[in-house]
Structure 1
Amino acid sequence: MKYAIRLKITYDYPSAVSDARHLLRVRPREGAGQTLRKIAVAITPRPGEHARERDFFGNAVDAIAFFTPQTELTVLMEATVTVERVPPPLAVTPGLVDVAEDALAARDADGASPLHHLGPSRRIETLPALTAYVEQTFQAAARPAGEAVLALTKRIREDFAYLPGSTSVGTSVTEAFTERRGVCQDFSHVMIAGLRANGIPARYVSGFLRTEPPEGQPRLEGADAMHAWVEAWLGNDIGWVGFDPTNGILAGDDHIVVAVGRDYSDALPIAGAFVTAGPQATDHFVDVVPIP
């Protein structure tokens, strides 16, 4: 599937900002069935410094800095992306115990290694009730790891209410799990925490969903903004596989990956520091249109 993608992020500051530095992760990734055909990133006002690089997890990063006062910031990303993912063979994935053992035996040290996605991180905490919730799901029936993770994905979709505005960017795993409500970021963090506590490596994915569903299919939740889902590591042969707990499905050709990491902190579309006074106003606009 081929898509035209447009992302616009704006910030308005009540007083002039000086000495600002930001890291942008807005460029779609390449690989794993995803091809970047065309990309343009426009930043207004023009930064005093602008460098392109990749972070530890292989995400494309624009490092920018401003040295003159500014009262607003606009980031506009426009891209053409092709997504052609082969459905993963969940029925022939190893068992849960085998996946956990293979993860602990891994010796790779790069950003894709399962070892970096097994323990707590800045936004992922261990919660005994959540650990038991996932363990109960896994014990419901003997099945390969891939099918067990998909069952957890569907259970979260059934048990949790998608309620935009009910949580904030700082909502913890404990709060989201206890309240059983939130948005895609919350559900992804809950699922990641539960998987890791049960020995399955899991990482956070930030990206886009197609805005217009195929004819006769329901519109996916979370398509109006940047979306988040989970990738679980299912052994040495299959590796990372995407699961969308917000919609209870596998991540397929409707999902466009931008960044991955241990949690939301590693995949923020914009992060940084600046000097100003007072609050700030921000807005995100996303449009993902299939190209015939």
Structure 2
Amino acid sequence: MKYDIRLKIVYEYRSAVIDARHLLRVRPVSDAAQTARNVRVVIEPRAGEHQRDGDFFGNDVDTIAFFVPQTELCVVMEAVVAVQRARPRLETTPDIETLASDALATRSANGASPLHHLGPSRRIAPFADLTAYVAETLVEDARPAGLAVMALTKRIREEFAYDPAATSVGTSVAEAFAQKRGVCQDFSHVMIAGLRGNGIPARYVSGFLRTEPPKGQPRLEGADAMHAWVDVWLGDDAGWVGFDPTNGIVAGDDHIVVAVGRDYSDALPIAGSFVTAGPQKTDHFVDVIPIG
């Protein structure tokens, strides 16, 4: 499937920003499952410094800095992305116990290693109640780990309510789990924390969802903004496989990856620091249009 994608992020400052430095993770990745072409990032006002680089997890990062006063920042990313994601063979994955043991035995230390996605991170810390909740599904029987994670994905979809008014960007995993309401970021953090608590490597994925569903299929939740889902490491053969707990499905050709990391902090579309006074306002606009 091929998509024409446009992301617009706007910040408005009540008082002028006099010094600002930001990291942008807005460019879709190119890998075995998707190819990004004609990628263009436009920044207004023009940055005093602008460099492109990659981070530890392989994300494409634009580093920008401003040295003159500004009252607004606008970032626009446009790209054409082709996605052809193979359907994972969940039934051929190891069982949960074997998978957890294999993860600990991994010797690779690069950004894609499961070792970096087993423990606590800045926004995620496993805790007993959530670990037990997830264990109920994972160890229900001796089925392959891929099928167990799929069952967990569907359980979160069924038992958690999609409610944008229920949480904010600062809502903790414990709070989201307790109220079982929130958005894709909350559900992804809950699922990651629960899996890590049971020894299963899981990472956060930031990206886009197809806006227009195929004929006869329901519209997916979260398609009007940047979306989040979970990659789970299912062994050396299967590798990282995407699961979308917001919609209870395996990530497929409707999912376009932009960035991955231990949690939302590693995959923020825009991060950094600036000097100003007073509040700020931000808006995100996303268009994902199928073109063939």
**Which TM class, normalised by the smaller chain length?**
over 0.9
- Which residue identity lines up with residue 52 of structure 2 in the other structure? R
Residue 209 (structure 1) aligns with: 209
* Letter in structure 1 aligned against 2:86: V
Matches of 1:75 and 1:126, distance apart in 2? 35
Report the Cα offset of residue 140 of structure 1. Answer: 2.3
Match of 2:21 in 1: 21
Mind listing any 5+ residue stretches in structure 1 that lack a counterpart?
none
Separation of aligned partners in 2, 1:290 and 1:120: 37
Report the TM-score when normalising by structure 1. 0.99
What are the superposed Cα offsets for residues 44-90 of structure 1, whole Å, 9 maximum, x if unpaired? 00000000000000000000000000000000000000000110000
1:115 aligned onto 2:119:
no
For residue 222 of structure 1, give the secondary structure of its aligned residue in structure 2.
Answer: coil
1:225 match: 225
Aligned to 1:166: 166
Choose 134-143 or 76-85, whichever is displaced more.
Answer: 134-143
Aligned to 1:265: 265
Structure 1 residue identity aligned to 2:200: I
Deviation at 1:196, TM superposition (A): 0.4
Counterparts of 1:235-274 in structure 2, within 5 Å, are 235-274=235-274
More divergent stretch after superposition (208-217 vs 27-36): 27-36
Q: C-alpha separation between the residues in 1 aligned to 2:99 and 2:29?
A: 26
Find out whether 1:186 has 2:186 as its counterpart: yes
Give the letter for the 2:39 counterpart: I
**DSSP 3-state at the match of 1:37:** strand
Q: Distance in 1 between matches of 2:91 and 2:269?
A: 34
Following superposition of structure 1 onto structure 2, how do residues 18-167 of structure 1 map, counting pairs within 5 Å?
Answer: 18-167=18-167
Alignment match, 1:275: 275
Distance 1:184 1:138 in 2: 21
Q: Give the distance between the partners of 2:32 and 2:244, measured in 1 at CA.
A: 16
Q: Which amino acid aligns with 2:98?
A: D
Q: Deviations over 1:136-189 (max 9, x none)?
A: 111223210000000000000000000012100010010000000000000000
For residues 93 and 109 of structure 1, the distance between their equivalents in structure 2, rounded to whole angstroms, comes to 22
Q: CA deviation at 1:125?
A: 1.1
Amino acid at match of 1:162: Y
Structure 2 alignment gaps of length 5 or more: none
**Contact map agreement 2:3 2:82 (CA 8 A) in 1:** yes
Map of 1:198 onto structure 2: 198
Return the offset for 1:237.
Answer: 1.1
CA distance in 2, matches of 1:20, 1:165: 30
Q: Is the 8 A contact 2:96 2:139 kept in 1?
A: no
Q: Could you tell me how far apart the structure 2 residues matched to 1:38 and 1:152 are? A: 37
In 1, the alpha carbon distance for the partners of 2:111 and 2:182 equals: 28
- Name the SS of the counterpart of 2:18 in structure 1: strand
| Cα pair 2:36 2:81 within 8 Å, conserved | yes
Partner of 1:8: 8
- Quote the RMSD (CA, aligned, Å): 0.6
The CA distance in 2 between the partners of 1:24 and 1:138, in whole Å, is 36
| SS of residue paired to 2:156 | helix
Looking at structure 2, the residues matched to 172 and 210 of structure 1 have their Cα atoms a distance apart, in angstroms, of: 28
Residue 38 of structure 1 and its aligned partner are, at CA, apart by: 1.6
**1:278, distance to aligned residue in structure 2 (A):** 0.1
State the one-letter code of the partner of 1:63. Answer: T
Match of 2:187, SS state, is helix
Q: Measure how far apart 1:32 and its partner are.
A: 3.3
Percent identical pairs in the alignment equals: 75
TM-score computed with the length of structure 2 as normaliser: 0.99
Q: CA separation in 1, counterparts of 2:202 and 2:176?
A: 18
- Partner Cα separation in structure 2 for residue 210 and residue 36 of structure 1: 15
